[in-house]
Amino acid sequence: MSINESAADLPTRRTCGAMDVHRRLLTESESYRIARSEIENQSIELEPLQSIAARGPVRIPVVVHVVSTTAAQNISDAQIESQIAVLNKDFRATNDDIDTVPPVFEHLIGDAGIEFFLADTDPDGRPSNGITRTATEVDSFDQNDGVKSAETGGGADPWPTQRYLNIWVCALGGGLLGYAQFPGGPVATDGVVITHTAFGTTGTARAPFNLGRTATHEIGHYLNLFHIWGDDGTGCRGSDEVADTPNQGGQNVGMPRFPHISCGNGPHGDLFMDYMDYTDDAGMVMFTRGQGARMGACLDGVRKALWTGRAASPAVSALVAPGAAGRWRHSFEEDHDGVRVYRPVGFDFPRARGRGGIEFRPDGSFVDWAIGRGDADEPREGTWVPADDDGRLEVTTAAGDTRTVRVVRFDEDRLELDVGDAS
């Protein structure tokens, strides 16, 4: 711990910024509002189909971006590895302290069937240890995503967020332990941020947040879990959209004693030992079966490319190389034989109302420029991965809908796509 990071500055009560980010995006972004609605509908469809026995565990590649302004904040590889070890136990229900769950709740314990590993290759296919290190002049960050941008925020740019779980470790201010972006948000800021004193179990990790549970909690949000009390204050009317978690009146902090009753949920009370409550690290030890199914639905839906994605093939790389990537407008007058024709934005198009477009980016993100109100362009973000070596791309929208697109022709001034039956 550095001279500037005294014990008095360390958080003593859990604070999470995920809902602040969620509400901000709901206010600012129509595409996020639409995506969130579609993702919830998709969760309802996919949750009953979840089966770890049939699918096997999902393995998620992780890149940890260490952003530091002091030597202490430049945490060690060992501290990072200790966090990955915690995640692999917590998301498989093999953590040593799971036996502290009261017997009346033991039947709720769920193995989410999710495992994590530090990425062994970078976005260009080169060997990697899954860790990046960036020196910054920013003393502390907040939940406004500055740490996720080298150019505008003094942080580190993400690796392609549809292929890696990006985790930024830095100094967070205002007592903030961490935050995550729910699925459906902007591609460029997707991921999880954790303050370095609440990351892992060694090094700069400090009690009562030194058991790695802040990352467990925030990755829960990243995989579409809400706080267990439903984020309605103490109103008892909020919902975390999970059927097997008891109704609860607000967050529990510190180390509650069982039972803690609220919202008339006696005799057993709150499931305060759940990872999505607000207790100290030592107080949270489990996900429920329902939470595991909801995360599984997320991984089979909007985040499917995260664990099924493949490195870009040469044919597809040519399409989205930096010199070729960009925004293309639909030249629908030239469509033929079920093939859509696109021209660069600066092309001299015939006069027409409402001309949508498409955009592939080198980082694997994708934007469908739809025609909105008043013929205004409306961006709908998503991601792409190669489907094969024959110029086919698998495009996934922010809501998790997937379609295969075949590149028929690509020239400097003409892009032709066979989109099948897509509208």
Taking the C-alpha atoms of residue 104 and residue 133, their distance in angstroms, rounded to an integer, is 45
Which of 38, 47, 218, 381 is flagged as catalytic?
218
- Length of the chain, please? 423
Which residues of 196-334 form beta strands (DSSP E)?
A: 253-254, 278-279, 326-330
Count of Cβ atoms closer than 10 Å to residue 123 Cβ: 18
CA distance 161 to 183: 11
CA distances 58 to 88, 184, 185, 264, Å, are 11, 20, 22, 37
Q: Say how far apart CA 157 and CA 266 lie, in whole Å.
A: 48
* Residue 259 burial (10 A CB sphere; 0-12, 13-18, 19+): middle
246 burial (CB, 10 Å; 0-12 / 13-18 / 19+) is buried
> CB neighbours of 330 closer than 8 A, spacing ≥ 6?
340, 341, 342, 355, 356, 357, 358
- Contacting residues for 154 by C-beta, under 8 A, at least 6 apart: 67, 136, 137, 138, 146, 147
Can 218 be counted among the known catalytic residues? Answer: yes
Q: Determine if residue 20 is left, alpha or beta; phi over 0 gives left, psi from -120 to 50 gives alpha, anything else beta.
A: alpha
Check: CB of residue 159 under 8 Å from CB of residue 166.
Answer: yes
Output helix, strand, coil percentages for the chain, rounded to the nearest 5.
30, 25, 50
* CA 242 to the chain's CA centroid: 19
Find, among 423, 422, 389, 377, the residue nearest to 404 by Cα.
422
Compute the distance between CA of residue 177 and CA of residue 224 in angstroms, rounded to an integer.
19
User: Which residues are CB-contacts of 421 (< 8 A; sequence separation ≥ 6)?
Assistant: none
Question: Could you list the active site residues?
Answer: 218
